[in-house]
Amino acid sequence: LLDPAPIDRTTTTTCGYCGVGCSLRVHVRDEHIAAITPVHGAPVNRGHACVKGRFAHAFTRSRDRLTTPLIRTAGRDSPLRPATWDEALGVVAARLSAIRDRYGGEAIGLISSARATNEENYLAQKFARTVLRTNNLDNCSRLCHSPSAAGLTASFGLAGGTNPFDDLDRADCILVAGANPTEAHPVVGARIKQRVLDGARLIVIDPRRTDLVGFADVHVQAHPGSNVAVFNGIACALIDAGHVDEGFVRHRASGFHELTDVLRDYPLDRAAHLAGVDPATLAEAARLYGSARRPAIVYGLGITEHTHGTDGVRTLANLAILTGAVGTTDGCGVLTLRGQNNVQGASDMGALPDLLPGYQSVTDPHIRDRFSRAWGVEVPDRPGLRILDMFDAATTGRLHALYVIGEDIAQTDPDTRRVQAALAACDLVVCHDLFLSRTAEHADVVLPAVSFLEKDGTFVNFERRVQRVHPALPPPGQAKTDFEILHLLAAAMDADLGCPTPADAMAECASLTPTFAGITHARLDRDGPLYWPCRAPDQPGEARLYLDRFATPDGRAALAARPYLPPGEQPDRRFPFVLVTGRRLAHYNSGSMTRRTPNLDLVPREALDVHPDDAARLGLADGDVVEVASRRARVTFPVNVTDSVAPGQVFTTFAFPDQPTNALTSDCADTTTGCPEYKVTAVALRPG
């Protein structure tokens, strides 16, 4: 706080950028944020915070914040014009009701937000199921960690990481796979480095030479898309070297014989060949992990965003099961680095096409009946459409309306031409947003929403820790929370969603969701954060899972026998490079908030990382412009020559809308969950 002028008030809340969930103190002067500082005693961040959490707040008072509803009155080609809330909600209510009544609820899709609170996500799924009468409901975890939910549930029983962040402090070996926490989850990255400085061994499995590689004992620089081969090879080596915890596997796991059958095809040499790495490197990774007493796994989107992302999660989980490094009090475990602040919570709250809150199946008649009785409306019984399927349904005339809460699907979803075609095909597109995003530009109605710094509720971080969010600022202009907007819209459609406050919504969720049964706002305010599952008001919540039994039907961890299958898209003579997309420290996802923060002008424009050998061969130098062509589009970038990428691979982000990276990416998706393959796109480079 360099400015000596007095602060009007300070609010403690939870960071709304990444899934680490740092506790922050927001200092306000004259209704503007004067500074944000980390909370020193906070259990997650222990007084640390990164450049985004601390400094990326100027967007809150950006001059282009949406402060009034916008509507088009003469079709999609007419301009958006300001409207009153009554007028805008009247238009949305009338048109949604007409579509629902004419075509049925299945003609409407709702995309909820991983940036919104749990309570807003709870209300959004209740609105979709009880007012719109559809399970066509999803959130952006579909695009990042849906393979984690599916894979961890199948392997261990619950759709979350197994251990608390603090267990890294006790790990003597950390395996970081497909994650660059230094940039994407900086507080985790710093904790891992500290642990290495204190003596832990570090294995990094990543196609890129990330910052953590400088601290690692081993870097397995595997080809993008080869994760299953890598993990099968390590599993094979663990078994061959006698690193298997036989008692654990015998008493607490299933599927060992099926796994060993498949692993016959993945001796170390073959697995290393498939992954493009030296067998000795893979063997050393297996030796370090297998000989550690308390090995921990930390992974991210480099594992999930593949056509075989769920298989990647499951074969990675195999390593923890084989060594007995999960379901113990010794630390260890599998930690999943969630991208957006509340991507865990959005799914926990049931903003999913097949699952009600707490991952309760919508096809189970007993569960559905419990929700139907509580809500007074029959919950639709058929699983709905996933996000990417909604786009196909729109372009084929089965989906007539798309309701998007706080996601810029036209910028961040893959193969954006498909997204734009879907938006154009819909009779009605409605979105809630802070700014006129690329998606909002296609919308018939845009409703001004508020950011995490202006709302009340809870988020769930990557550890399953439920934390309070408190408003530090009043909403600008006429902007409203997603919670208020959903209530007002439901009322305009002659429905009452109940639970008038966020605290009421959490209480209702708790009454219907066993894993949240003990969680209330009052308890969080009194006692601090709680882990789910928290099954009763007198239970502390389970930070460390599966100490007695796994939550699978037979109580055992399930080893997965999965073959390696190649990525959905392969390079060839026309498109010889592999484009990997990811994140950089200074920007966050679509960049809508960080690009509006002058003190984050650290990266004013996106670049394409190219290996020095490839740059020399193509005659490219730093700053030269290169056209990147995929089978779908062409986008130009300035070149950044760096050996952080391997030869034959290039890297960039999708944080800048005028460099539409996702026009390049493909429609290939995880065969289990539909998570897009953002990590493998075949491209050609053409010097400009």
Instruction: Specify whether the CB–CB gap between 348 and 532 falls below 8 A.
Output: yes
Distance of closest approach, residue 469 Cβ to ligand SF4, in angstroms: 12
Instruction: Indicate the residue among 202 and 585 with the shorter CB distance to ligand SF4.
Output: 585
Q: From the CB of 91, what's the least distance to ligand SF4, in Å?
A: 36
The helix or strand, by DSSP H or E, that contains position 612, with its residue range, turns out to be helix 612-618
Q: 474 with 108: CB under 8 angstroms? A: no
CB of 597 to ligand SF4, least distance (A): 13
CB of 407 to ligand SF4, least distance (A): 18
Polymer length in residues for the chain: 688
- The residue of the chain with the least Cβ separation from ligand SF4 equals 53
- What does the binding site for ligand SF4 look like in residue numbers (CB under 6 A)? 15, 17-18, 20-22, 45, 49-50, 52-53, 185-187
Q: Minimum distance between the CB of residue 587 and ligand SF4, rounded to whole angstroms?
A: 11
CB of 496 to ligand SF4, least distance (A): 35
Nearer to ligand SF4, 531 or 564 (CB): 531
Closest to ligand SF4 by CB, 53 or 533: 53
Sequential DSSP letters for 317-345: HHHHHHTT-SSSSSS--EEE--SBTTHHH
How far apart are CB 15 and ligand SF4 at their closest, in Å? 3
- Kindly tell me which of 210 and 515 has the beta carbon lying closer to ligand SF4: 210
- Least distance (Å) from ligand SF4 to the CB of residue 302? 18
- Find residue 122's DSSP bridge partners: none
The two three-digit tokens of residue 133, written as one number: 């009468």
* Sheet arrangement for strand 32-38: 9-14, 23-29, 32-38
Q: Which residues of 654-674 are buried (b: 16+ CB within 10 A; e: fewer)?
A: bbbbebbbbbbbbbbbbbbbb
Residue number with CB closer to ligand SF4 (59 or 85): 59
- Cβ closest to ligand SF4, residue 155 vs residue 589: 589
Q: What DSSP string runs through 416-475?
A: HHHHHHHHHH-SEEEEEESS--TTGGG-SEEEEB--GGG--EEEE-TTSEEEEE--SSPP
- Nearest one of 8, 21, 9 to 52, comparing CA atoms: 21
108 or 188: CB nearest ligand SF4: 188
Closest to ligand SF4 by CB, 49 or 249 = 49
DSSP per position, 613-653: HHHHHHT--TT-EEEEE-SS-EEEEEEEE-TTS-TTEEEE-
Nearest CB to ligand SF4, comparing residues 27 and 611: 27
Least Å from the CB of residue 53 to ligand SF4: 2
Contact 682, 575 (CB under 8 A): yes
Burial class of residue 527, CB neighbours in 10 A (0-12, 13-18, 19+):
exposed
| CA 669 to chain CA centroid, nearest Å | 15
Number of neighbouring beta carbons within 10 Å of residue 599: 11
